Amino acid sequence: MKIRYFDHSATTAVDDRVLEAMIPYFSENYGNPSSVYGIGKDNKEVINICRMKIASMLNCKVNEIYFTSCGSESDNLILKGIAFANKNKGNHIITTKIEHPAILDTCKFLEKFGYRITYLTPKSNGIIDVNELEKNITKNTILISVMYANNEIGTIQPIREIGEIAKKYGIFFHTDAVQAIGNIKINVREENIGAISLSAHKFYGPKGMGVAYINENIPFWRMQDGGHQERNKRAGTENVPGIVGLTKAMEIAEENLIEYNRKLKTLRDFYISEIRKRVPYIRINGDLENRLSGNANICFNGVDGSKLLAELDQKGICASSGSACSAGLITPSHVLLAIGVPNKIASSSLRVSFGKENTLEDTEFLIESIEEIVMKLRN
């Protein structure tokens, strides 16, 4: 059966060019970058070059880039590291109700250590009200953490405006850009962003490879003790193939950004307009303008989202619902609930996220399949 993959917000296949760039670092160029002999020192140099390239793409300094194992680790490192190192300045953090669990659960952890967290409710279109954010700032606020683009409904936050507010009040500003990078050009200096989390597997790079950018003026604690890697901030032998792969994937994404977005938007808009025409009683979640080009999140009233996914899977279609299954209970997406979607309707959601290998024919098959399955499940 042909697999048609529409879940690029979950992960992406490694690009052939990325794989090719990585392969020599598994077995030929295997030296430990901390070693003093040639093959180790060569790999240290490879890492330095990658760090320079990433810093140049984000417009930050080379010493502000830290390699991590994933987006979740970067989120943890940044939030905990900044909170603990700046406790003398205050204990208040502002975030949103629609963040990824890597942020929400880290905030819950920090609450146990005496931090007060404000979770902003977005407007019904999934966008944060910047006035509301500003109103919540107190003299104890040390950090604002607002995601760049949402992983479920694809909405893009007013990052530049939030950056301005953070600058005005002298508060550190972190954005989880795991879903944005590869889709949106980010310039941390221009956007007044103090810290960023990235993850390679969302933009055709390898799994298990992330980046934390942290402005050199932000004090933060190391979260992993041991060796002196990453300028003493993150112990552990560097993942050289992963670093090479992440850098290559980011370069490819940057080169193809306009064309990539154009392609994804064409498929996504076609999908939404056809579903609108062919399937009644639906709700499209998230702002239609300020959203990732490849994201469509739709509720099909009266349909159980998990059944819809299972039926699509039978046809070789991979998509996603925002529901989480814990202890055998399906709970609707916290993001949809936060934007005011009623509980029952939220459980009928389907997230489709387009990527570079999708075609118009595959999208037509997706639309026909959804139409057929939704009608069947409603009957």
Of 60 and 70, CB closest to ligand PLP: 70
Contacting ligand PLP (CB under 6 A), which of 15, 64, 176, 191?
176
Contacting ligand PLP (CB under 6 A), which of 33, 126, 194, 210?
210
199 binds ligand PLP (CB under 6 A): yes
The two structure tokens encoding residue 233: 């901030």
Q: How many CB atoms neighbour CB 377 within 10 A?
A: 15
151 binds ligand PLP (CB under 6 A): yes
100 binds ligand PLP (CB under 6 A): yes
Stretch that binds ligand PLP, among 70-78, 214-222, 295-303, 363-371 (CB under 6 A): 70-78
Q: Torsion over CA of 296, 301, 302 and 304, rounded to 10 degrees?
A: 20
Q: Which residues contact 323 (CB under 8 A, 6 or more apart)?
A: 305, 306, 330, 331, 332, 333, 346, 347, 349
The two structure tokens encoding residue 151: 């992983």
- Using CB under 6 A as the binding rule, the residues of this chain from 251 to 270 that contact ligand PLP are none
Of 10 and 235, CB closest to ligand PLP: 10
Of 71 and 126, CB closest to ligand PLP: 71
Of 58 and 147, CB closest to ligand PLP: 147
196 binds ligand PLP (CB under 6 A): no
Of 91 and 151, CB closest to ligand PLP: 151
Contacting ligand PLP (CB under 6 A), which of 79, 128, 146, 147?
147
Task: Catalytic residue, from 50, 70, 107, 325: name it.
Answer: 325
Tell me whether strands 172-176 and 195-199 are parallel, antiparallel or unpaired: parallel
Instruction: Report how far residue 96's alpha carbon sits from residue 127's, in angstroms, rounded to the nearest whole number.
Output: 10
Active site residue 50: no
Of 32 and 331, CB closest to ligand PLP: 331
3-state DSSP call for residue 11?
Answer: coil
Task: Show the DSSP H helices in the chain as ranges.
Answer: 16-22, 24-27, 38-58, 71-85, 101-111, 130-135, 159-169, 229-232, 240-255, 257-278, 305-314, 334-338, 343-346, 360-378
CB of 146 to ligand PLP, least distance (A): 11
146 binds ligand PLP (CB under 6 A): no
Asked if residues 297 and 154 have their Cβ atoms less than 8 Å apart, the reply is yes
Asked if residues 57 and 74 have their Cβ atoms less than 8 Å apart, the reply is no
Instruction: Report how far residue 43's alpha carbon sits from residue 30's, in angstroms, rounded to the nearest whole number.
Output: 8
DSSP state letters, 22-47: HTHHHHTS---TT-SSHHHHHHHHHH
CB of 373 to ligand PLP, least distance (A): 25
72 binds ligand PLP (CB under 6 A): yes
Stretch that binds ligand PLP, among 65-73, 120-128, 136-144, 342-350 (CB under 6 A): 65-73
Instruction: Report how far residue 88's alpha carbon sits from residue 67's, in angstroms, rounded to the nearest whole number.
Output: 27
Give contact residues for ligand PLP (rule: CB under 6 A).
70-72, 75, 100, 102, 147, 151, 176, 178-179, 199, 210
Q: Which residues are known catalytic residues?
A: 325
